[in-house]
Structure 1
Amino acid sequence: MAIRDRGIMKWQAAFQLPELAKTQWDFWRDNERQDKPIIDEHEAEEFDLRIIYAMEYDHSVKLTVWDDGFTFDITGRFHYVDPITHELRIEVKLGEFERVTFDSIIGVKVLN
């Protein structure tokens, strides 16, 4: 005789509690968090030089940004550097801009 298993149906009751699902999601998300890399003054100066070069010759850049324990990449062209608010404005698409603070940048790569 073959055993008839209910398959995934037997696990559905456990995930019906929204508090449990949220707690597990938060736990998994917290497990994936990384500490912010320490950027020394030489790396910061190198980032500045790459940003200046990309702005002068209108090259695209790929910024690696750290935000709340996670890193992601932003690709686009520099639109404006705001020294008062310490932000970069990057045009990722035509007419669409992203704002990135100086402190959150952990990598700069100039693309051709």
Structure 2
Amino acid sequence: MTIRDRGKLKWAPAAFLPEYTNMLRDLDTDYYRQQKPIIDEFQFEEFDQRICYAMEYNFAVKITKCVDGFNYEIVGRIHYVDPIRKEVRLKTEADEVERVKMSDIIAVEVRE
């Protein structure tokens, strides 16, 4: 006679405790959250020069942005720089326009 075991299912939280599962999910996301690096004005100026260079010669750019403690990379071509809203508009390879706030940018890399 073989023993039928539920395997990992027996260690899973009960389905009648949604607060517990939400707390575990939040705990998991908070574990991987990073602190936003401090960017000084010289780095902002360097980012601005790289963006202007890429926009002038129509080069692709990889922008790394930090939102809510997580880093995201966007690759595309600079479409427009909006000084009033303080954002950069990128046209990605999928012909979508991504808006990135200047305050969220932590790295800019020009791809020639």
TM-score (norm 1): 0.89
Q: Deviations over 1:32-51 (max 9, x none)?
A: 11111011111111111100
Residue 6 of structure 2: aligned partner: 6
Partner SS state of residue 39, structure 2: coil
Q: Percent of counterpart pairs with the same letter?
A: 51
Aligned length in residues: 111
Residue aligning to 2:52: 52
2:95 equivalent in structure 1: 95
For residues 76 and 14 of structure 2, what CA distance do their matches in structure 1 show? 40
Matched residue of 2:107: which SS?
A: strand
Alignment of 1:31-70 (within 5 A): 31-70=31-70
Deviation at 1:77, TM superposition (A): 0.3
Show the counterpart of 1:80.
Answer: 80
Secondary structure, in 3 states, of the residue corresponding to 2:38?
coil
**2:20 alignment partner in structure 1:** 20
In structure 2, distance between residues paired with 1:81 and 1:74: 15
Query: Hey, what's the Cα distance between the residues in 2 that align with 1:39 and 1:10?
Result: 47
SS in 1 for 2:7: coil
Runs of 4+ residues over 6 Å off in structure 1? none
Q: Distance in 2 between matches of 1:109 and 1:67?
A: 18
**Cα deviations across residues 34-83 of structure 1 (Å, max 9, x unaligned)?**
11101111111111110010000000000000001111100000000001
- Contiguous gaps of at least 5 residues in structure 2: none
Distance change (3 Å), C-alpha of 1:4 and 1:72 = same
Tell me how far apart the structure 2 counterparts of residues 41 and 9 of structure 1 sit (CA, whole Å): 52
Instruction: Give 3-state SS (helix, strand or coil) of 1:53's partner.
Output: helix
Measured on the aligned residues, the alpha-carbon RMSD in Å equals 1.7
